[in-house]
Amino acid sequence: MNRIKIYIAFFLIFVGSNLYAQKFALIDMEYVMKNIPSYETANEQLTLLSKKWQSEVELLYKEAETMSRNYQTELVFLSDDMKTKREEEILAKEKEANELKRKYFGPKGELFSKRESLIKPIQEEIYNAIQEICSEKFYQMVIDKSSNPSIIFATPKIDISDEVLQKLGYSK
């Protein structure tokens, strides 16, 4: 009789500890994103757009620099009114370049908006796939190992990166 009670106690302890065990998973978002063709295409578009806008901004800065050099060489020949006018023109060109830079690359700039419109839908799709996998396998937490440098080692068994790609239709 005592043996049965001991077996029942061990069984209850074993079952009880498994009920409260937390399940974790890892994902490598960089790996997942790089294996989605639409993400690579969006990234290429953003790079091309960024280079184009950067060249426009640099052109304005070069114009301001050229105006400044010309001003310095002609300084001795200019009247006070002409000096003031030239200085204002140089400042206006620099201001124009700074405003264009802010318009394209600022926190609410066009590059930010474009990135959000191209990449956010892909990220949402990945997030939804992760949520489905978590619901199916009862994961309580998923950690992105590509953005967490404090993870020293993790067993590959808990990495769901390939599973997410399969869920999205991109099998490896």
pLDDT 10s digits, 124-166: 999 999 999 988 988 888 888 877 677 767 777 888 888 898 8
Angle at which helices 37-74 and 80-105 cross, to 10°: 170
- Does residue 151 belong to any structural domain of this protein? yes
- Does residue 73 belong to any structural domain of this protein? yes
Please give the pLDDT value at position 7.
54
Answer yes or no: is pLDDT of 86 > 80.
yes
Q: Provide the residue range defining the domain that includes 80.
A: 22-167
Please give the pLDDT value at position 144.
85
Residue type, 155: T
Q: What percent of the chain has pLDDT over 70?
A: 85
Please give the pLDDT value at position 5.
58
- Does residue 156 belong to any structural domain of this protein? yes
- Does residue 16 belong to any structural domain of this protein? no
- Does residue 17 belong to any structural domain of this protein? no
Please give the pLDDT value at position 57.
96
Please give the pLDDT value at position 163.
87
> Model confidence over 90-117: pLDDT tens digits?
999 999 999 999 999 999 999 999 999 9
59: which 2 tokens? 């052109």
Domain count, the chain: 1
Please give the pLDDT value at position 20.
52
Please give the pLDDT value at position 128.
94
Q: What is the mean pLDDT of residues 43-50?
A: 95
Contacts of 110 (CB under 8 A, 6+ apart): 53, 103, 104
| Start-to-end C-alpha separation, the chain | 55
- Does residue 101 belong to any structural domain of this protein? yes
Secondary structure, 3-state, the chain: CHHHHHHHHHHHHHHHHHHCCCCEEEECHHHHHHCCHHHHHHHHHHHHHHHHHHHHHHHHHHHHHHHHHHHHHHHHHCCHHHHHHHHHHHHHHHHHHHHHHHHHHCCCCHHHHHHHHHHHHHHHHHHHHHHHHHHHHCCCEEEECCCCCCCCCCCHHHECHHHHHHHCCCCC
The chain-wide mean pLDDT, for the chain, equals 86
Pick the closest to residue 155 from 32, 24, 21 (CA basis): 24
CA angle 31, 34, 37 (to 5 degrees): 145
Please give the pLDDT value at position 13.
61
Contacts of 26 (CB under 8 A, 6+ apart): 142, 143, 144, 145, 151, 154, 158, 159, 160, 161
- Does residue 2 belong to any structural domain of this protein? no
What is the C-alpha to C-alpha distance for residues 41 and 52, in angstroms, rounded to an integer? 17
- Does residue 78 belong to any structural domain of this protein? yes
Least reliable range by pLDDT among 15-24, 59-68, 151-160: 15-24
Pick the closest to residue 142 from 167, 119, 121, 120 (CA basis): 167
